[in-house]
Structures are given as structure tokens and as C-alpha cells.
Amino acid sequence: MSERVDPGFIKEMKHYGTSDWNACFHCGNCTAICPFTENESLFPRKGIRQMQMGLKDSLASNVDPWLCYYCGECSDTCPRNANPGEIMMSLRRYLTTIYDWTGLAKRFYQSKKWEFGVMILLALLIMILFIFFHGPMTRELTSEGGVQLNTFAPWKKIEIGDWIMAGLLSFFLISNILNMYLKIIVKDRQLKVPFRFYIIEFWSLIVNFFTQKKFSKCEKDRTYWITHLLVMTGYTIMFILIVVFLGWFQTDAIHPWWHGQRLLGYYATFGLLVGIFYFLAGRFKQNTQKNKYSHFTDWSFLILLLLTTLSGILVHIFRVTGLPMLTYYTYVIHLMILFPMLMIEVPFSKWSHLAYRPFAIYFYNLKKRAMNRQLQPVLQ
Amino acid sequence: MKTNDHRIGVYICWCGTNISGMVDVEALSQSIGQLPDVAVSRDYKYACSDPGQQLIIDDIHEYRLTNVVVASCSPRIHEITFRRAIENAGLNPYMLEMANIREQVSWVHSDRDEATRKAGALIKAAINRVRYHEPLEKRYVDINPTTLVIGAGISGMTAALEIADAGKKVYLVEKADKPGGLVAQLDLTYPHFDSAQELVLSKIKRVNDHPNIDLFLNSTITEISGFIGNFSTHLRLDGQEGQELKFGNIIVATGLRPIDAGIIENYNYRNIPDVITSLEFEKMLLEGNISTEEGKTPKHVAIIHCAGSRNSRYHEYCSRTCCMVALKFIHQIRSILPQTNIYDLYTDMRSFGKGCEALYTRTNNNTMFLMFDKDDLPQIKTANPGDDCSILIEMNEKLSGRSVEIPADMVILMVGMEGQTDAKDIARAVGISLCGSNFFIEKHPKLDPVATTTDGVFIAGACQGPKDIPDSIAQASAAAARVLSTISAGKVQVESITASVNEDICCGCQTCISVCPYSAISFDEEKSVSVVNELICKGCGTCGSTCPTGAIRSRHYTDEQILSQISGLIETANTM
């Protein structure tokens, strides 16, 4: 079946960060230098051509952009300065909007008004909820000298909110992943994936989610991978603490420093801070290929994460040093940043890659395995 | 036949290490020196150099040499050099024979002993032959200062104006009813978007006004008789025999024609009205209205390169200009219809020359370039009902490896160039040859692209091969300069190596007349013998080898010369 070309597609891609779209003349140096490209996935050139020609169906089923971790070697080697690495990045942004069936991702990526508008709305929602439903703002301290945060914001009530949020996030993210699965695996009519492959390859999904071991092979310098791993684990620990173990995490008691609650909290805070400052510094200095071009969503993501972390630290400090009013206000501000950030970033924007990347590797492995099986009789 | 009055000088050239690396030139020169009639035998580092030539000249004086053999490179390279040298020493230039021991020996062999033997055999054969060389005379003819230029396109007009400006008369013959040729059908030129109309109109005006140019429209030429300096023809005006013209030189500038797009089945040129050729699109641009057959503005325009070019089924060659014309179209469409999608289907983008790469870069960001394999042409078909376009193009896009579909409301075929259909008649009339595709063949593809193998006939512009306007004008000016140089010389040297008929032996069979490629032989009815016009004869030898009675003798290639050369080779092979 021949696919219709679409010259208008390039205009759309410009929203996702592609600038010099036609500089590439397909010498293939990028594919040759890329440490990840294999016979089954000849990126970045293939994706660049699909973009130039506006082959939207081919792109939607193309898993390659997620297999790229943007080491930037292709852009360094490109004789035309076509910046293949950044095109792969913008294709990831584009694919995020394609997997999202609600259309919100597209709005957030294409329009600052939408992104910041929704962010403010969600923040106001949190504020209103606190105005109407907050507990007594007592100035009385606990016997240890800490603030009675659970009186102002009982963890049981907050946990209900957390669960609602986690439910929404899961619903959007999982439905988007299903959509991704439809486009990559199901739509490929020639591809037949036996059920056992799904089980065999499931291990790679888990391993890649937690270790990002593929990423570690991307660069000679492992600093980036380690930093990224710090952020990822810090974030995951924090997320689990607030959604699953909020009663254990949000206490009025001041535990000794070696207590698990504090150690985990400090590790997560440390991981997030190191990562955020490392990434922010990189984007300011533009010292590597992947840092040279920043989409506005890259900045808003990092800044929101930084503000969340900083406000979280302040809540902790104010609580243990016994400053009740500051604790309460900072707590509300903390949630006013945290909630919009998660709602926008996780299912609809940059943070969705935490799910799309491991699933892309999973789908790619399935595809490769199935294709090899289908080819075998031919080869014999 | 050995006579004692031959004193032969033999010069064996080292050609640096080109020859001496594979042939023992010093040993050869010693052993050749022992042969009878060889007065002197030498080897020298570069025989063609000034001291090398001087050595030969001095020897001719000192040893009173009668013949000279030079064993060196191909005679095509230095025969003229050595002929001039011995002429300076007072010998007739035709008393020279060359043995080619570079191209035929040192460059092609790897065994030094065998190569030296072969070189020895060739030199001995040359010595045998040179004994039979006879002095030949240089002959000259007067030049009629009037020139005939065939074709009043941009090339023909340029050549005519150059010659006319130099004060010489020009007959400019054009078969159409107006001058201007193909350029008159164009809108803008690449890469600077100058108006083609302005270029051509200024030339037409000058041609019309020039007192030295006689312009004949609706006129053709079917037969030309004569030879360099003295040609004549009867013009045919609207098919009727017209005025007789006499002239000394001819410039053929008959131009090109676009290939018939209808022969390319995939493109459905005849069946789909909005599939048009590049020239038809030029017409739209000239009229200032880009619209479909139904009068609508096209939303999608596709341009297909190499229509009829670079394909084994049509023409194998590249037509050189179409890529740049396509980019010019893109630029023009983009400025007239900014919202229209442009698709450029190419095989290779050839934007050669000054300013052209810049034009390519400029169009690069507003066009979708799609690559196809030159032997896997796109298929043009009518769109399905419900499509937002009238035409669909299906192609295997080479860079993506995908089979894709391109919507179009108008398809422009960049048709290639081929020679005129009547080029064969012109070639026969003026006595020149065609290569494939009805283009005239030049004397030498690199060293002499302006002259032809017929003296006094020059070619200019796209009748020689696909060319753009500046190249055509350059070649036209060059042809004019060549004509003016023969006119200013007043006389021109003609070939000395010619054929002659021994009337006593000629049986009057006229076989020679039918084989002569230069029409140099006529039949004397009275004596019933063939007569060679030595001003036209090129000494090719065809008649001599065809003559059943041996009546024709080709000067410098007589039977004795050839046979003695062969026996020299055989003797050496047997003895050495």
C-alpha cells in the first residue's frame, strides 16, 4: 500500500522543535555512527525521511525515536548540520502527542497558553480545596517541638486526593500506552506475535524501566546516565511514598535521622536536586548536543520539578523547627506545584517517557523476535 | 628495394622513464645503427623537446639525411612536431615515419626483453617503410569571405552577429517563420531570472538591422556542393528552389527539440490534460497564468525530472539544463502561488555551475523533494473521486524505500533535449556526421568541440549536444572566431595526403564514388574514369582499398609502403 505524502506536516513538526528539516540529504553518516542502530531499525535517517515526506502513518508506528537516548554523536558527525539528534527529540515530542488520544498533549506542546493555563487552573483547584476543607491551623507544637501538620492536612484526607490523582495518571498513561501498542504492533498486519513472546520479553521491560541499562551504553561518559538514574529513583521513591505510604511518610513525629522515613526522603531529595541542577546547568551552558536546543516544555518541566523539591524541603524544615504558619502555607504551595506538574507532565508531556521508553524497547524486542521467527522459513 | 642513396636518421625517445623504463633504448639504438641505410641512430631523453628537435635538425645537416624515423609516442601527439622540425632542416615534411613504442609497447607490456624486441620490430618496419616515402606538396585554396549560418536561434544569431560585426557577409538561414529559436519560447532564465525574451529580442533586432546579415526565413538547405573556401547551395524557400548562395564557411546551429513526452507510457501525457511539458509551462509563465485545464489554480504542482533523459528506454544522456529549469519553476511558482504545495520528483539533482547551487539551496526549504530510480519511473494516473486533487502519482521513493502517493493538480514533465528530426538531412547536405540522438559529432570531444571532420564546417549550440544559453553562446562565438580566422588567412591549407586515379587502369566501375565519405570523387563521362577532387579528399584510403583494379593510389599509404612495413615486422620477428 502506498502512503500519501504530506508537505504540510513539516509546519506541525516545527512546534516540536524541528527547525532545519530539509538540510538532511541522506548520506547515512548518522546511522553509521549511532551506537544503537541495528538492521531492524536504521535510525535516525529513516525517521528523518518519514518526517520530510510527511508519512504520518509510518511515523506513528515507528518505535525508533524511543530507542535513541540522544548522545548527539549523529549531530556531531552530520556533514550538513541537519541535527539528526534534535530531530529524533522532536519526533519523541510528536509521538507523545500521537499516543495521547485526548489531544491534550498536542495542546500542551504546541501552545504555552494551554500549558500554563491548565497548570494555573489545577493549582487554583488545590488552593480552593484547601481554603474550604483544611483543618485547624493550630500554632500549638507537638511534644517534640514539631508542627501538627496532620491537624491542618490529615494524611487520610490527602491520601484520598493522592489516590484520585494516581488513578487519573494511571488511566491516561495506560490508555496512551495501549494506543501506542495499537499503532506499533497491532496495526502491522503482517506481524504475528505469539503470546509467549510477551512473557519472555516482559523481563526486559522491567529491567529497562529500573536500570535504563540501554541508556548507559549510549555515552562514553556515564555521568549523565548516573544522574538520570538518581532523578528517576528519587522521583519513584517519592511517588511511592506519597501515594502508597503517605501515613508513614507524612507524620507529625520527628524521627531520628537514621530512621527509614528520613533516609528515604533525604535520598530522594538528594537525587532530585543533583539531577535537576545538573540538567538545568547543561541547558544553560548548552555544552552538549542534547543541551543545545531546549523546547519550552523542557524548561517548564525542570523548573516545576525544582520548585516542587524546594517547597518540599521547606515544608520539612519548617515542620521540624516548629514554624506552624510557614509550614501550612508552604505545604499548600508545595501541592499547588506538585499536582499540576504530575497531571501535565506524566501522561501528556515530557515525563511520559518514563513509560514510553521501556515500553518502546519491549515492543521493539517483540517485533524483532516475531520478525525473525517469520523470516526463518524463508531463510531455510 | 634497397638503394644506396638513402641516408636514414633514427631517433629513439626515452620519454623520461615512460619508454626507457620498459624498453632498453640504448641497446636498441646501438643495434639499429648497424642496419643498412641507417646513417645515424640515437637515443634521447625527450625527442620532442627543443634540444631534441635541434639534435635531429643538426644531424640532417651533418649526415645529409634523406629520411627520418622517430620512435616515440603516438604520431597523433607529435607527428606534426617532427614534420615541422625536419621541414626546418630543409627536408620535405613527409619524409618522416614514426614508430609508436610508448602506447603500443612500453605502456602495455610488462616483460622488458619482449617489449624491447617488439620496439625493435616496429622501428625496423618504420625504417623499411620510410624508404618509400615521397615528398608531398602543401596545397592551399582561397577562401570566399561570406559565411552561411544555418539556424537563427540564439547560437546562430550570435555567430552571425560576431562575423557580421567583423565586417564579413553572413547568410543566416532559418526554417521557421521568425528568428529566435527555442529561447524565444522561454520566460525567465536560470539562475538569475533574467528575461529570456529580452535576451533574444535584442539579438533579433540587431540581426534584422545589420547590413552584413541577409536573413532568409521559411528557408531550408537540402544540398551543398564544394569544399572549404568555396561552397555553394540553392536555398529552398517554402519548398520552392530559390536563390543560389556562395560562401566559404558554414556554421551549423540548428539547435534542439524537446523530446516527445508521449513516448513515456508511465506519464500518460496524452491522456491526462494537466500533465504538461516544461515548455508548455514556460508558455503559461509567459502568459502570466498558471492554471489547470479547467481554469483552476493548482493546489498541488508536481515536477518530474529526467522525462526522456537518463533512461535506457529513451535517451541515456543527461540533458543538462532541466534540473535548473525545474528549480527556476519552483521559484516562480512559489512567488506566484505561495500556498501551493510543490513536489519535485528527481533522480539526481544536478545543479552545476555558477549561481546554481545557491538556487538549489533557496528552493530547498519550500519544496518536497522525492527521489526515484531512473529505471523505475513514477506512474501518473487520474485521481479517485473524492480525492482533493485531480491527479495521483505513485512512486517508489528511493531515500525512504517506501512506495508513496503524491497528490497533484498539475504535473510538469522536464522533457529532455534531442537533435532536430531533420538533422540527418543537414548532416548529409553539409557532409558531417551524427552521433546518436541526432546531435552532430564534433571533430574532437575535448580539443575541438567546435569544428567537424569536414573543413570549413563548424557547429554551435545545442545541435552538438544538450547545452544551456551561456554555453551555446560561447560555442557560437568560438565558431565565429574560427570562421574569421580562416577568412583572415585568405587561404587555407588542404590535405596533402590524397588519392589519385591512374586513368590507364581505371575501369570506370565507380565503386570508389559510392564509398567516398567526403563526396570527393566524381566521374568523368568523357574518359569514363573516376576523378578525385584533391581539395575535398582527406586521404582516408577507403577508395584505394575498395578499387578492384588497383587504379587508385593513396599517397603516403601506397602498397609498397604498407607491404614493406609489414615485411619489416615479419623479418624482425623471424630473426630476433
Residue closest to B181 by CA, chosen among B198, B202, B213, B204? B204
Do A161 and A271 belong to one domain?
Answer: yes
**Percentage of residues in chain B with pLDDT exceeding 90?**
84
Asked if A7 has any chain B CB less than 8 Å from its own CB, the reply is yes
A221 and A356: one domain? Answer: yes
Using a CB-CB distance cutoff of 8 angstroms, which residues of chain B are in contact with residue A46? 400
Mean pLDDT of B185-208: 96
Query: Are residues A49 and B400, on separate chains, in Cβ contact within 8 Å?
Result: yes
Tell me the Ramachandran region of residue A26: left when phi exceeds 0, alpha when psi lies from -120 to 50, beta otherwise: left
For A212-288, where are the alpha helices, taking DSSP H only? 213-216, 223-243, 246-249, 260-285
Domain holding A203, by residue range, is 104-371
One-letter amino acid at B165 equals D
Say yes or no: A242 and A210 in one domain.
yes
Please name the residues between 223 and 252 in chain A that touch chain B, using a CB distance below 8 Å.
none
Single out the residue in A99, A126, A154 at which a domain terminates: A99
B400 shares contact with chain A (CB less than 8 Å): yes
Q: How many domains does chain A have?
A: 2
Q: Which residues sit opposite B444 in a β-bridge?
A: B448
pLDDT of amino acid A378: 58
A52–B343 C-beta distance less than 8 A: no
The answer to whether B402 contacts A22, with C-beta atoms less than 8 Å apart, is no
Query: How many CB atoms lie under 10 A from the CB of residue A305?
Result: 23
Q: Which of B534 and B404 is assigned the larger pLDDT? A: B404
Separation of alpha carbons A144 and A279, rounded Å: 38
Residue B505's pLDDT is 92
Give residue A111's region: left, alpha or beta (phi > 0; psi -120 to 50). Answer: beta
- Cα angle A40, A43, A48 (rounded to 5 degrees) comes to 135
Has residue A1 been placed in a domain? Answer: no
On chain B, the residues whose CB falls within 8 A of the CB of A3 are 402-405
Q: How many whole angstroms separate alpha carbon A304 and alpha carbon A283?
A: 15
3-state secondary structure of B176: coil
- Looking at the partner chain, which of B342, B400, B407 has a beta carbon nearest the beta carbon of A4? B407
Contacts of B402 in chain A (CB under 8 A): 2-3, 53, 55, 58
Angle between the N-to-C axes of helices A296-320 and A324-348, in degrees from 0 to 180, rounded to the nearest 10: 150
Residues in chain B within 8 Å Cβ distance of A55: 400, 402, 404
Question: Are A194 and A264 within one domain?
Answer: yes
β-sheet with B230-237: strand ranges across: B219-227, B230-237, B240-247
Which chain A residues have a beta carbon less than 8 Å from that of B345?
Answer: none
Residue B4 confidence (pLDDT): 55
Does residue B227 sit at the A interface (CB-CB below 8 Å)? Answer: no
Last residue of a domain, one of A69, A99, A129: A99
Q: Do A42 and A181 lie in a common domain?
A: no
| Chain A environment of B343 (Cβ under 8 Å) | 5, 7
Whole-number Å distance between alpha carbons of B461 and B332: 26
A183: burial class by Cβ within 10 Å (0-12, 13-18, 19+)?
buried
Substitution target from A1, A3, A4, A5 for chain B, most B beta carbons within 10 A: A5
- C-alpha distances in angstroms, B490 versus B127, B144, B228, B485? 38, 8, 11, 9
Cβ–Cβ of B404/A8 closer than 8 Å? no
- Bin A302: left if φ > 0, else alpha if -120 < ψ < 50, else beta: alpha
Query: Angle at CA B253, nearest 5°, toward B306 and B472?
Result: 55
Confirm or reject contact between B403 and chain A (CB < 8 A): yes
The helix/strand/coil state of B420 is coil
Please state, rounded to an integer, the average pLDDT across all residues of chain B: 93
Q: Radius of gyration over alpha carbons of chain A, in Å?
A: 23
Q: Which of B3-12, B481-490, B524-533 has the lowest mean pLDDT?
A: B3-12
How many contacts, defined by CB atoms under 8 Å, are there between A and B? 49
Helix (H, G, I), strand (E, B) or coil at A34: coil
Using DSSP bridges, classify how beta strands B230-237 and B240-247 pair: parallel, antiparallel or unpaired.
Answer: antiparallel
The answer to whether residue A379 is domain-embedded is no
- Enumerate residues 325 to 344 of chain B having a beta carbon within 8 A of any beta carbon in chain A: 341-343
Contact: A2, B403; criterion CB under 8 Å: yes
Question: Would the CB atoms of A2 and B405 count as touching at under 8 Å?
Answer: yes
| B148-193 pLDDT, tens digit each | 999 999 999 999 999 999 999 999 999 999 999 999 999 999 999 9
pLDDT score for B399: 92
Q: Contact, A34 vs A78, CB < 8 A?
A: no
User: For chain A (length 380 residues), average pLDDT per consecutive 10?
Assistant: 90 90 90 86 89 95 91 90 93 96 95 95 96 92 92 93 94 96 90 89 85 74 86 93 93 92 95 95 87 90 95 95 95 96 94 92 91 72
Q: Would you say how long chain A is, in residues?
A: 380
How far off is chain A from B403, nearest CA to CA, in Å?
5
The pLDDT of B273-293, averaged and rounded, is: 96
pLDDT above 70 for B3 = no
Whether A201 and A297 share a structural domain = yes
* Whether the complex's predicted ipTM surpasses the cut of 0.90: no
* Neighboring chain A residues of B406 at a CB cutoff of 8 Å: 4-5
A271 and A366 co-located in one domain: yes
Q: Cβ contacts of residue B573 below 8 Å, gap of 6+?
A: B121
C-alpha cell, B428:
548529409
At residue B236, what is the residue type? R
State how far residue A44 is from chain B, nearest Cα, in angstroms: 12
pLDDT at position A345, please?
93
pLDDT at B542: 92
Of A39, A66, A99, the domain-final residue: A99
State the first-to-last Cα distance of chain A, in angstroms, to the nearest integer: 28
Each residue of B300-318: pLDDT tens digit? 999 999 999 999 999 999 9
List B236's β-bridge partners, or say none.
Answer: B220, B241
Please check whether residue B394 touches A, CB under 8 A. Answer: yes
The answer as to whether A314 is a domain residue is yes
| pLDDT at residue B1 in the model | 41
State the smallest CA–CA distance between residue B265 and chain A in angstroms: 21
Identify the closest residue of chain B to A43 by CA–CA distance. B400
Q: pTM for the full model? A: 0.79
Using a CB–CB cutoff of 8 Å, tell me whether B368 touches chain A. Answer: yes
Which domains does chain B carry?
Answer: 1-136+557-576 (3.40.50), 147-255+420-492 (3.50.50.60), 260-416 (3.50.50.60), 497-555 (3.30.70.20)
Enter the C-alpha cell of residue A37.
542502530
Q: B324 CB contacts (<8 Å, ≥6 apart)?
A: B190, B191, B351, B356, B359, B468
Instruction: Find the mean pLDDT for residues B117-129.
Output: 95
Eight-class DSSP state of B437: G
Give the closest-approach CA distance of A295 to chain B in angstroms.
22
Greatest C-alpha distance within chain B: 99
Chain B residues with CB-CB distance to A21 below 8 A: 365
Q: What percent of chain B has pLDDT over 70?
A: 99
3-state percent breakdown (helix, strand, coil) of chain B, nearest 5: 35, 25, 40
d(CA B66, CA B72): 20
3-state SS string for B87-128: HHCCCCHHHEEEEECHHHHHCCCCCHHHHHHHHHHHHHHHHH
Same domain for A314 and A277, yes or no, is yes
Same domain, A283 and A313: yes
> Is A4 inside any structural domain?
no
Among B303, B379, B404, most A C-beta atoms within 10 A, so best to mutate, is: B404
CA-nearest of A98, A31, A28, A18 to A67 is A31
What is the predicted pLDDT for the residue at A223?
85
E strand or H helix that includes residue B40 = strand B38-44
Contacts with B460 (C-beta within 8 Å, 6 or more apart), sequence order: B155, B156, B158, B159, B251, B252, B253, B450, B472, B475, B476, B478, B479
Nearest C-alpha of chain A: how many angstroms from B353? 20
Q: Do B405 and A5 touch (CB under 8 A)?
A: yes
C-beta of residue B164 within 8 angstroms of C-beta of residue B136: no
Same domain, A72 and A213: no
Measured CA distances, A330 to B236, B279, B551 (Å): 103, 75, 121
Q: Nearest by CB to A3, which of B365, B368, B405?
A: B405
CA B16 to chain centroid: 33
Residues in chain A closer than 8 A to B397 (CB atoms): 53
Residues of B in contact with A23 (CB under 8 A): 364
A7 vs B contacts (CB less than 8 Å): 341-343, 368
Distance from CA of A162 to the nearest CA of B (A): 47
The whole-number pLDDT of residue B338 equals 93
Answer whether A7 sits within 8 Å of B399, measured CB to CB.
no
Q: Mind spelling out the 3-state secondary structure of B196-221?
A: HHHHHHHHHHHHHHCCCEEEECCEEE
Residues 119-158 of B with CB under 8 A from A: none
Nearest to A181 by CA among A98, A284, A265, A277: A98
Q: Which of B364, B376, B384, B400 to mutate to test the interface with A (most CBs of A within 10 A)?
A: B400
A171 plus A123 within the same structural domain: yes
Clarify whether residues A110 and A87 are in a common domain.
Answer: no
CA B118 to chain centre: 35
